Amino acid sequence: MSKIIVNNVDVKGKRVFVRVDFNVPIKNGIISDDRRIREAIPTIQHLINQGAKVILASHLGKPKGIPVPELSLAPVCVRLSELIRRSVVMAPDCIGPAVAKLVDAMKEGDVLMLENVRFHKGEEKNDPEFAKALSALADLYVDDAFGTSHRAHASTEGITRFMNPPFAAGFLIQKELKYLGDALDNPERPFVAILGGMKVKDKIRVIRNLLKKVDTLIIGGGMSYTFFRAKGYEIGASLFDKDALEIAKDILREAESQPGKILLPIDCMVADKIDSGAQTKIVPVDQIPECYQGVDIGPQTVELYIKIIKEARTIVWNGPMGVFEYDQFEKGTRRIAEAMANSKAVTVIGGGDSAAALEKFGLAGKMTHVSTGGGASLEFLEGIYLPGIAILTDA
Ligand code: ADP
Ligand code: MG
């Protein structure tokens, strides 16, 4: 899946519409994690250096098609301007005459930040009129919004119907496709996938796709308990997704012919509530007491999983092993993350909460690649062709 990259396109003097994913966490006007902004800088800096007129578009949060002042991209514009050490003009909107006037005034190397595209209903509806209005601002389209590439919206998909190719990938999308793509299509073996977290139903499709590719699939976190139910164990008050029960049974049945291919926890930490004052115990997974719920993988499971991680040459990880947000329940996730950080394997992490866990442990920098796409990386691992990638011009 090789796409034209922005450095193969002549951009000098051109108005370049760059879809970025600046959907960063903001509280009271303060950005708590600017990683998505930093990751887009190589593309932005390249365009500036090449003398393009750089028009940046992004969404932020869920304003549902109306202007919501708290979801303005203005704080992002300020942070970006600090990071690239040059002024970035904030537009009052993303379409319309006032914005067109700002674009007309741009000189080579200037940067303009459009206002939140989701302030318009047409964005998420992929409305052709809105897409056309966006397209009118620019000569070229560049996409570096990996985190939004699983959505066919006006600024990620529709806009290209009103513009001329090439539609180039930015350097962040290039990097995401390289690491996620290589891991799936061309992994050094043994290839191990570690799946956890709580979105069992969503992730069951990921399990199905990964089972075709991996040598070992390790399961942990909240999704394990649906599998334990599938095996007939009592799981107390643990997370359980009854809609996923039959599929879990199917997966276990299919796995019977390949012993050791799917590993489930053998022990777990249970708690009487999810709270810092909780009472906890370590129990075998078939002995979860009635009023308790599973909150982490247990120490024997950790040892078993670390052995597999040590042998692996490629590891894809999605989903925490426990409720890591509480220090009491973080140990399984932390030990697995440490083992990955210390391994020689190519380590690729997808999923927003998994990335947050790595930040908590200070281990993000020790991984080969931490994806900026939560939902997008998950759909990629499912083997779904992402619309925001599909529209890019093949190299
Ligand atoms: P990601 O964002 O990495 O894809 P998910 O969104 O699927 O991961 O799940 C992350 C969440 O799962 C975390 O907030 C974590 O607290 C929760 N979680 C993990 N293990 C359990 C468990 N045993 N019970 C309940 N929630 C869990
Ligand atoms: Mg999540």
Residue 323 Cβ contacting ligand 1 at under 6 Å: yes
Q: What is the pLDDT of residues 361-383, one digit of tens each?
A: 999 999 999 999 888 998 999 88
The residue ranges of every structural domain in the chain are 6-173, 187-382
Ligand nearest to the CA of 197: 1
205: pLDDT confidence band, cut at 50, 70 and 90?
confident
Which CATH fold would you assign to the domain 187-382?
Rossmann fold (3.40.50)
Give 350 Cα–ligand 2 centroid separation in angstroms.
Answer: 10
pLDDT of residue 199: 82
Q: Which amino acid, one-letter code, is at 153?
A: H
| Cα torsion 169, 171, 176, 179: sign | positive
Of 33-37, 43-47, 203-207, which gets the smallest average pLDDT?
203-207
| pLDDT at 206 exceeding the cut of 80 | yes
Does residue 346 register a pLDDT over 70? yes
What's the rounded mean pLDDT across residues 151-161? 98
Residue 110: band (very low, low, confident or very high) from pLDDT cuts 50, 70, 90? very high
Residue 1 pLDDT exceeds 80: no
CB contact set of 27 (below 8 Å; sequence gap of 6+):
none
CB distance 108 to ligand 1 below 6 Å: no
**What count of Cα atoms within 13 Å lies in the side-chain half-sphere of residue 202?**
17
Band (pLDDT 50/70/90 cuts) for residue 202 is confident
b or e along 182-191 (b: 16 or more beta carbons within 10 Å of the residue's beta carbon)? ebbeebeebb
Closest Cα to atom 19 of ligand 1: 322
**pLDDT for residue 47:** 98
Cβ–Cβ < 8 Å for 346, 183:
yes
Residue 369 is encoded by which pair of tokens?
Answer: 């690649």
Annotated active-site residue 199? The verdict is: yes
The yes-or-no verdict on residue 141 having pLDDT over 90 is yes
Does residue 270 sit in helix, strand or coil?
strand
**CA 352 to ligand 2 center in whole angstroms:** 5
Ligand nearest to the CA of 292: 1
Query: Does 109 participate in catalysis according to the annotation?
Result: no
Q: How far is the CA of 364 from the centre of ligand 2 (A)?
A: 16
Question: Sorting pLDDT into bands at 50, 70 and 90, what band is 44?
Answer: very high
Atom number, ligand 1, closest to the C-alpha of residue 355: 3
Question: Does the CB atom of residue 354 touch ligand 1 within 6 A?
Answer: yes
- CATH code assigned to 6-173: 3.40.50.1260
The angle at the Cα of 133, spanning 129 to 40, to the nearest 5 degrees, equals: 120
For ligand 1, whether the C-beta of 374 sits within 6 Å is yes
Examine the pLDDT at 335 and tell me if it is beyond 80: yes
318 lines ligand 1 (CB under 6 A): yes
